[in-house]
Each structure stands twice: as C-alpha cells, then as structure tokens.
Amino acid sequence: MNKPRVMSSSRASAGRLLRFAAVGGTGVIINMSALYALSRWAGLPLLVASALAVELAAISNYFLNDAWTFALRSPSIGRFAKFNAASLAGLALNVLGVWLFTRLGLYFLAADLIGISAGFAANYAFSVSWVWGRDGALLRAGPDAAA
C-alpha cells in the first residue's frame, strides 16, 4: 500500500525558495523586455517605461508565485496588493543598497548584487510571512504535498 508522500518542512521550504527565485528570474526577463519595448519601440519616457515594466513583471510574478511557488490556485486582490507592497519594499532595499555601497567605494555592479540579494531576501520573507502567510498549513506542507 502506498503511503502519501509528505515532504519535510526544510525540503519544502528549499523547494519554495528555488521556485520563488525562478519566478523572479522570469520577472527580470519580462521587466527588461518590457522596458526595451516601451522605451525604444513605443517611445515612452524612460521613467514611465520603467515603472510600467516593473509593474508588468510584478503582475506576472504574483500570478506565477500564487499558482506555482505557493500552490494556491485562487488569486486575490488582497494578496496582489500585499505582493506589490512587498515588491516595492524589496525594490527600495535594492536601490538603497546600491546607493550605500557605491558611496562606500564598492564597484556599482558588486553593489547591485548586494542590493538584489537584500531585495530578494526581503521580498521572500514578506511573501512567506505576510502575503501568503495566512495559508500557513499549505506553506508548511509545500505545494507537492497536495499532489
């Protein structure tokens, strides 16, 4: 008789973190593609194109994270608003990190990696604890536990 497969909590968390990072990677591709298309092809001012590109990536990331990373198949406006706020906090940490570490003399690309890491960590922490945190049983079990 086959027993249901239950993943350990740490293995489920590691898998969730990797899925979150993969979704973030798709967000980078969407952001950069949209930024190029909106600024170069559509002729929008860079600041407007950048804001729209960031939001397009955030929308995509929200739906992918909701369905794949956190295995909920029921998007909600409330979670979307929280995810946008968490993304904004991550963006702020990223920019602050770049500004701070370049002022301290670090090469700007190295500073950017630190900023990206800080933004990613904050985004993930907010997502697990606040955006999707009310679904705690699902988060502890991981998306594969429902299969």
> pLDDT tens-digit profile of 88-112?
998 888 889 889 999 999 988 888 8
CB 64 within 8 A of CB 26: yes
Asked if 82 and 131 touch (Cβ cutoff 8 Å), the reply is: yes
| pTM for the full predicted model | 0.76
Q: Which amino acid makes up residue 30?
A: I
Q: Which two tokens stand for residue 50?
A: 């950048």
Contact 137, 70 (CB under 8 A): no
Q: Looking at residue 80, what is its pLDDT?
A: 95
C-alpha span between 116 and 69 (Å, rounded):
20
Q: What is the residue extent of each domain of the chain?
A: 8-75, 76-136
Predicted local confidence at residue 135, as pLDDT: 53
Q: DSSP string spanning 90-141?
A: HHHHHHHHHHHHHHTT--HHHHHHHHHHHHHHHHHHHIIIIISGGGHHHHHH
pLDDT attached to residue 24: 93
Q: For all residues of the chain together, what is the average pLDDT?
A: 84
Residue 4: what pLDDT?
47
Nearest to 145 by CA among 3, 4, 1: 4
**pLDDT at residue 146 above 60?**
no
Task: Note the pLDDT tens digit of each residue in 37-81.
Answer: 998 999 998 888 888 888 999 999 999 999 999 987 688 999 999
